[in-house]
Amino acid sequence: MTDTTDYRRLFDLHDRRVLLLGAGGIGREAGLALAAQGAEVICGDRDADTAATTAEGVTGAGGRATAVELDVTDPADLDRRLDEIGDVDVVVLTAAINVRKRLLDYSVEEFDRVVGLNLRGSFTVLRAVGARMVARGSGSIIAFSSIRARTVEAGQGVYAATKAGLEALVRTAAVEFGEAGVRVNAIAPGVVETPLTAQIRADPEWYRAYATKGALGRWSTPSELAGAVVYLASDASTFVTGSTLSVDGGWTAVDGRFVPPT
């Protein structure tokens, strides 16, 4: 049997509709990259201004985009919006929050807020989007995890637990949706210069410490995550599912930057 794949079109997304859930920061750059490859991008966010700003950025760069206000933590609202949007080929979920506190200092309310968006919200998206894609027989779901799903530190326990749980949901969804032709994967960034990391970046010592944890010796920018999103959205990854793609500058591959004498 001869494979007739046209490798020139591996990353061509002109026939894809993409729903972006979480349109700021990394989501914005993902939207710009997807549109640059030809995709139609629906920018969804709980904050209507964020969704609109990203959509305007995409159209301003020559891409196709619209904005929609939605809440991934509200199953009824998400279902209603998905019905209005119609069929989508790709869903990218970036929405997440973090409360940096040690476990003994965490309140139940803070725990519920972080778990409510990061884990319950992810479950809500997988269930709602997955049902529609499975019924249609195709689709790619891309969820954003974190290196914290595998490496933890003081003050990151609840966030880490939600990301580890997210990866378990992604693997399970990949198994359950796979026979219908739906792929489900995660991307695990390292340290990225986004509003979520503003507290760290404001402390020069803390900033340098994180920069030197990875093999490349620096932080990443949101644009450096966009290529992984395009890959998992495209035909270049048609046999990739149930995976977590680390885009962490080597953080999880090395034990800091110290080079011991040999």
Query: Is the predicted pLDDT of residue 1 greater than 60, yes or no?
Result: no
If pLDDT is split at 50, 70 and 90, which confidence band does 4 have?
confident
Q: Is 202 helix (H, G, I), strand (E, B) or coil?
A: coil
pLDDT tens for each residue of 115-148: 999 999 999 999 999 999 999 999 999 999 999 9
Q: Is 242 helix (H, G, I), strand (E, B) or coil?
A: coil
Q: How far apart are CA 229 and CA 193, in angstroms?
A: 17
Q: How far apart are CA 13 and CA 107, in angstroms?
A: 44
Q: Kind of pairing, strands 17-21 and 40-45? A: parallel
pLDDT in the model for residue 244? 98
227 to 64, 185, 218, 234, 245: CA distances (angstroms):
18, 14, 18, 11, 11
pLDDT tens for each residue of 40-79: 999 999 999 999 999 999 999 999 999 999 999 999 999 9
Q: Where are the domains of the chain?
A: 12-249
Query: Is the predicted pLDDT of residue 258 greater than 80, yes or no?
Result: no
Question: Residue 239, class by beta-carbon neighbours within 10 Å (0-12 exposed, 13-18 middle, 19+ buried)?
Answer: exposed
If pLDDT is split at 50, 70 and 90, which confidence band does 166 have?
very high
Instruction: List, as one string, the DSSP characters of 126-144.
Output: HHHHHHHHHHHT-EEEEEE
Residue 159 annotated to the active site: yes
If pLDDT is split at 50, 70 and 90, which confidence band does 259 have?
low
Q: Which of 7, 106, 159, 210 is catalytic?
A: 159
Query: Is the predicted pLDDT of residue 111 greater than 80, yes or no?
Result: yes
| Candidate CATH numbers 3.40.50.720, 3.30.1490.20, 3.40.640.10, 3.30.2130.30; the one for domain 12-249 | 3.40.50.720
